Structure 1
Amino acid sequence: MPTDIAFLAIAEAHQIYHWLPAALELARRSSVRVSVLAPSDTMLDLIGSYDPEGRLEPVRLTRPPLQPDSLFRQPSRFATLLLNHRRIARCPVIVTTEISSARLRHMPGFSSRMIHIKHGAGDREGGYKKGHAAFDLTIVGGEKDRRRLIARGLGTQDNVRVGGYPKFELKANRQRFFSDDKPVLLYNPHFDAKLSSWINHGPSVMAALESLTDWNVIIAPHVKLAQRVPPIVSAAPHIRVDMGSRHSIDMSYTMSADLYLGDVSSQVYEFLIAPRPCVFLNLDHHDGAGAAFSHWRLGQAIDSMDALAPALARANGLQAGFRDVQEAAMRDSIDQSPIPASQRQADIILDFLKGAA
């Protein structure tokens, strides 16, 4: 009998890239049958675009009525779980990248084994939630997340494993998004209202970016921020705004930019797959000494938009001094073994299931 493993896709599209490579790798193995459960035809179509051989079995869950359905606006996760918990409970093994599914533990008749693949590799405290402790196995990108989950009592030495960062296997190639050869700056604000540089400072940030006529600028906010704020618009010819597209989630921009400008988004670690200059905005004057801001050591941190142009002018000259610390932070955050992360994650899942049998 094949091992049945279900991947639960009830989050927005950016999370797909963190579990899809492992799902495809498992589906290539003759002893495994892999299904994908989603309430969205749009999401199943995106997943299918990476599965031309049809190895994954798509399962369309019941979608809550009158709920949004696009890559970046999905039905309520809790409502989806309530409507479909009996169907989901029939799956002996469930893999997911989001924490809402921890609520399944409290639903009648639910006894499936639950595996969490932690998406992203960021530092903010919001990346560590109570729900992490509900999973039988958690797979993280690097030792940093393993260490922090265990220290917070959200996992143990036995059930938190390092599996690398499979999103790198689906990353887009470097692309030209502008017609000239000016350097490209990527501005990637986060959605956390307490930490985001855009929510409280959008007008001053935009004014500074529009003044950077020696740069091309891509503004690509975290997809959750893009759904929570009015559309960001600019008529400046050197600015490209993306409020949510495939480019904004498949590493097209992090691969194509020359400099990263952000606040607390974990995408800085995707950008640093190749060490390059970074500038961080601390416009609310946070104490940057805490672990939640440890990535601010990887580049210049500035506390006013007046300081942006001078920071950009210094960036290339200072980069040699940041390269070693960037590489060390990447090794801690994302374990880049020569063995592909998808294969490592698949092996970890099957080893766990064999031990739990």
Structure 2
Amino acid sequence: MPVDIAFLAIAEAQQLYHWLPAALELARRPDVRVSMLSPSDQLLALAGSYDPEGRLTRLRLRRPPSGPDSLFRQPSRLATLLLNHRTIARFPTVVTTEISSAWLRHMPGFSSRMIHIKHGAGDREGGYKKRHRDFDLTLVGGEKDQRRLIARGLGTVEDIRIGGYAKFELRAPRQRFFADDKPVLLYNPHFDPDLSSWIKHGPEILATLEALTDWNVIIAPHTKLARRVPPIVSSAPHIRIDMGSRHSIDMSYTNSADLYIGDVSSQVYEFLLTPRPCVFLNLERRHWQGIENFNHWRLGQVIERADGLPQALARANDLQAGFLAAQEAAMHQSIDLSPIPASRRQADLILHFAKGAA
């Protein structure tokens, strides 16, 4: 009998890149049947674009009435789970990248074993929630997340395993987004209302970026922030604004930029797959040294005024050598870059668990 494994896709498109490589790897293996469960035609189509051979069985779940369907807007996760929990329960092993699915544990008769692939590799405390402990197995990108989850009582070394960062296998190549050869900076603000540099300081940041005519600028906020704030608009010819597209989630921008500007987004670690200069905006002037939630701020300059950005950019290349060792060490702790592809490592862990649970 084949081993049945379901990948539950009820989150927005940015999470798909974290589970799809493992799903495709499992689907290539003999005696394994892999299904993608999603209420979204858009997400099913996006997964299909990476699966030309049609190895995945794509199952459209019921949608809540009037629920949105775009890459970055999906219906209520709880409502989707309520409508579909019996369908999901038919699969003995369910894999997901969001933690809302832990709610299924409260449904009578639900006995599927659940695996969580933690998406992202950032430092923010919001990445560690009590619902993590409701999963039977959690796969993380590197030692940092394993250590931090265990320290918070959210699992043990036996059920929190390091599988690497499979999104790198789907990353888009470096691209030209501008007609000239000026250096490119990426500004990537996070959605956390307490930590985002954009929410309280957007106008002054935009004015500063518009004045940087020696640079090309990509403004690509986290897609959750893009849904919560008015559209960012600029007529400056050296600025490209992306409020949500495949480019904003497939590493097109992190691979194509020469310098990263941000606050607390985990995308900094995707950018640092190739070490390059970073500048972090501490415009609230918060105390951050020695606080692990801001460990990534050790990997570049930290500035406390938006109008200090031109000076930071002017010295970024000269200072980069001084940050290189810290960047490489942080990447080593955050993402295990084994020569064995992460998709294969994750697939091995999932299949071993699924066979053991059968």
TM, length-normalised to structure 2: 0.99
Deviation at 1:286, TM superposition (A): 1.7
Question: Per the alignment, in what secondary structure is the counterpart of residue 199 of structure 1?
Answer: helix
Give, in whole Å, the separation in 2 of the partners of 1:157 and 1:262: 32
Question: Per the alignment, in what secondary structure is the counterpart of residue 75 of structure 1?
Answer: coil
Deviation at 1:64, TM superposition (A): 0.4
Which shifted more, 284-293 or 123-132?
284-293
Task: Give the corresponding residue for 1:164.
Answer: 164
Task: Give the corresponding residue for 2:325.
Answer: 324
Task: Give the corresponding residue for 2:251.
Answer: 251
Give, in whole Å, the separation in 2 of the partners of 1:78 and 1:235: 40
Residue type matched to 1:141 in 2? G
Identity %: 77
Query: Any stretches of 5+ residues in structure 1 without a counterpart?
Result: none
Task: Give the corresponding residue for 1:43.
Answer: 43
Give, in whole Å, the separation in 2 of the partners of 1:135 and 1:31: 25
Post-superposition Cα deviations, 1:305-338, rounded to whole Å, max 9, x if no partner, equal 1211100001000000101110000000000000
1:352 aligns with 2:338: no
Post-superposition Cα deviations, 1:108-144, rounded to whole Å, max 9, x if no partner, equal 1100000000000000000001110000000000000
Task: Give the corresponding residue for 1:122.
Answer: 122
Deviation at 1:262, TM superposition (A): 0.2
Task: Give the corresponding residue for 1:222.
Answer: 222
Aligned ranges for residues 258-277 of structure 1 at < 5 Å?
258-277=258-277
Deviation at 1:194, TM superposition (A): 0.2
Give, in whole Å, the separation in 2 of the partners of 1:114 and 1:301: 40
Deviant stretches of 4+, over 2 Å: 353-357
Residue type matched to 1:3 in 2? V
Q: What is the number of equivalent residue pairs in this alignment? A: 357
Give, in whole Å, the separation in 1 of the partners of 2:349 and 2:230: 42
Give, in whole Å, the separation in 1 of the partners of 2:2 and 2:225: 41
Give, in whole Å, the separation in 1 of the partners of 2:94 and 2:353: 13
Task: Give the corresponding residue for 2:338.
Answer: 337
Deviation at 1:285, TM superposition (A): 1.5
Deviation at 1:356, TM superposition (A): 3.3
Task: Give the corresponding residue for 1:281.
Answer: 281
Residue type matched to 2:343 in 1? S
The answer on whether the counterparts of 2:262 and 2:279 sit within 8 Å (CA) in structure 1 is yes
1:88 aligns with 2:91: no
Residue type matched to 2:330 in 1? A
Question: Per the alignment, in what secondary structure is the counterpart of residue 169 of structure 2?
Answer: helix
Deviation at 1:355, TM superposition (A): 3.3
Residue type matched to 2:320 in 1? Q
Deviation at 1:353, TM superposition (A): 2.4
Task: Give the corresponding residue for 2:101.
Answer: 101
Deviation at 1:354, TM superposition (A): 3.1
Give, in whole Å, the separation in 2 of the partners of 1:7 and 1:354: 16
Give, in whole Å, the separation in 1 of the partners of 2:116 and 2:102: 10
Alpha carbon RMSD of aligned pairs, Å? 0.6
Question: Per the alignment, in what secondary structure is the counterpart of residue 227 of structure 1?
Answer: helix
1:17 aligns with 2:17: yes
Task: Give the corresponding residue for 2:316.
Answer: 315
Residue type matched to 1:337 in 2? S
The answer on whether the counterparts of 2:3 and 2:355 sit within 8 Å (CA) in structure 1 is no
TM, length-normalised to structure 1: 0.99
Give, in whole Å, the separation in 2 of the partners of 1:166 and 1:136: 20
Task: Give the corresponding residue for 2:177.
Answer: 177
